[in-house]
Amino acid sequence: MRTVHLLMYLFTSTNVRKIGPKEFASIFYSLQSWRAIFERFDHDRSGRIDTTELREALLSLGFSVSPPILDLLVSKFDKSGGKSKAIEYDNFIECCLTVKGLTEKFKEKDTKYSGSATFTYESFMLTVLPFLIA
Amino acid sequence: MAGYPPGSGYPPYGAPPAGQPYGYGSPYGAPPPSYGAPPPPYGAPPPPYGGPAPSAPPAGEKPPKEGKNQSYGQPGYYGHSAPPSASASQSPYPRPYSSGPFASLVPSVFPPGTDPNVVACFQAADRDGSGSIDDKELQQALSSYNQSFSMRTVHLLMYLFTSTNVRKIGPKEFTSVFYSLQSWRAIFERFDRDRSGKIDTTELREALLSLGFSVSPSILDLLVSKFDKSGGKSRAIEYDNFIECCLTVKGLTEKFKEKDTTYSGSATFTYESFMLTVLPFLIA
């Protein structure tokens, strides 16, 4: 349900948990491409993406994340609470959307592409809180 | 325990003790300014937020007895077990590892002087007798007959008190969680002015102010909509999500303040630090 809520938030830019035909069409096509990415990077066909596969998947989406961030992502999104150290399909979508969403918000503030961004307290909280999905 | 209100006893509902500024950092000697406007003199009970340094309370300070918590109509923490003091005296919590070569290898034990109520609660919660409490056991212990305590809040508590993603807590961490939850309970009840069992936007604003956090209406609306179990309909937060909401605001604000060393209201993050700061708060 968390992934559902995240998708709805990202495709409606609101907290209203309903989508109409137009938004549904966008989600439909997005999910197709997410499915393709998942299958492309689940090299060992385990049905789950581990840390190495996740790194490659994120790289192919244009996001270069460091090992500490990767480990954190896998542990947060691993349904088995850290035991399998791998992510299933729905959480994979959520993981990628979260990285994508946070990175884009960060880049909005980092206009010089310096790798650093400055936030006011207000913008920091308003940026981050929507990603803490209930 | 650092921060536990010394000598002021447990703040009864409606009678705020002489406040000291809310300070997660205050046990370390540097009183942090409240972020945003200075907190109004509500005489806020300083939550004994033990942070990652759990320790037993100083001898002589005891949490309120079972009866006090139950007087609000919710069995809450003490739940359904027999009077804890009775069971504590009959079967003291076994401490087979408190000495000997294995002491450093096994889960921590309760330090001497720990309130027997805490020990008994731990015992009651540790249903499989493993010596540590996992997330399901903690959730069960915290849920009452009419309300389940969300697993997300359980995980957040465990993360904050162990600084790891291992979802188990030992006696020492349990003690800290116990006392923190008591103070959160007190804050919740203090600010649930209409006794609805939920905290709405106005009440949340006051609760956060009393904790030293001044948040704008936009942030408040976002918090309430995120933490409202009814998906936004009741526009109010229940007890377990209230804890999570406050811990999240507190956690994020403190991380922000770490980067805003000049207290200017703006902080600069590298991409790495930004992601590493934010991601732990995305609780699975």
* Residues of chain B found within 8 Å of residue A98, distances taken between Cβ atoms: 279, 282
Look at residue A127 and give its three-state secondary structure: helix
pLDDT score of B83: 40
Residue of A nearest to B168 (CA): A81
User: How confident is the model over B245-263, as a mean pLDDT?
Assistant: 87
Spell out a b/e string for A19-57, using b for 16 or more CB atoms within 10 Å of the CB, else e: beeeeeeebeeeeeebeebbeebbeeeeebbbbebbbeb
User: Under an 8 A CB cutoff, do B275 and A119 touch?
Assistant: no
Which of A72, A124, A125 is the closest to B280 by Cβ?
A72
pLDDT score of B16: 38
From B56, B66, B101, select the one nearest B86 (Cα to Cα): B66
Measured CA to CA, the distance from residue B173 to residue B53 in angstroms comes to 8
The amino acid present at A73, given as its one-letter code, is: L
User: Under an 8 A CB cutoff, do B267 and A128 touch?
Assistant: no
Sign of the CA dihedral running B184, B162, A94, A66? positive
User: Under an 8 A CB cutoff, do B223 and A130 touch?
Assistant: no
What mean pLDDT, rounded, does chain B reach? Answer: 68
Q: What is the DSSP annotation of B97-160?
A: TSSSTTTTTS---PPTT--HHHHHHHHHH-TT--SSEEHHHHHHHH-BTTBPPPHHHHHHHHHH
The Cβ of residue B282 has, within 10 Å, a number of other Cβ atoms equal to 19
pLDDT score of A82: 66
pLDDT digits (tens, 9 = 90+) for A1-58: 777 877 887 788 777 778 999 989 988 988 888 889 999 999 888 889 988 899 999 9
pLDDT score of B73: 37
**Above 80 in pLDDT, residue B103?**
no
* Residues of chain B found within 8 Å of residue A115, distances taken between Cβ atoms: 270-271
User: Cβ of A4 under 8 Å from any chain B Cβ?
Assistant: no
* Residues of chain A found within 8 Å of residue B223, distances taken between Cβ atoms: 129
| B4-13: long-range pairs with CB below 8 Å, 24+ | B4/B48, B4/B50, B4/B57, B4/B58, B4/B61, B4/B179, B5/B45, B5/B46, B5/B48, B6/B58, B6/B61, B10/B63, B10/B64, B10/B68, B10/B182, B10/B186, B11/B45, B11/B186, B11/B190, B13/B72, B13/B186, B13/B189, B13/B190
Confidence of residue B105 (pLDDT cuts 50, 70, 90): low
Query: Running DSSP on this structure, what letter comes out for residue B82?
Result: S
pLDDT score of B108: 64
Which of A76, A129, A130 is the closest to B279 by Cβ?
A76
pLDDT score of B31: 36
Which domains does chain A possess?
A: 2-133 (1.10.238.10)
Query: Running DSSP on this structure, what letter comes out for residue A50?
Result: E
User: Under an 8 A CB cutoff, do B282 and A132 touch?
Assistant: yes
pLDDT score of B191: 92
Q: Give the highest mean pLDDT range of B2-16, B225-239, B251-265.
A: B251-265
Query: Running DSSP on this structure, what letter comes out for residue B2?
Result: T
pLDDT digits (tens, 9 = 90+) for B116-157: 888 888 988 998 988 899 989 999 888 876 677 888 788 888
User: Cβ of A96 under 8 Å from any chain B Cβ?
Assistant: no
pLDDT digits (tens, 9 = 90+) for B15-49: 333 333 333 333 333 333 444 444 333 333 333 33
Residue of B nearest to A132 (CA): B282
Q: What are phi and psi of B37, to 5 degrees?
A: -65, 150
* Residues of chain A found within 8 Å of residue B231, distances taken between Cβ atoms: 17
pLDDT digits (tens, 9 = 90+) for B40-73: 333 333 333 333 333 333 333 344 344 333 333 3
User: Under an 8 A CB cutoff, do A69 and B283 touch?
Assistant: no
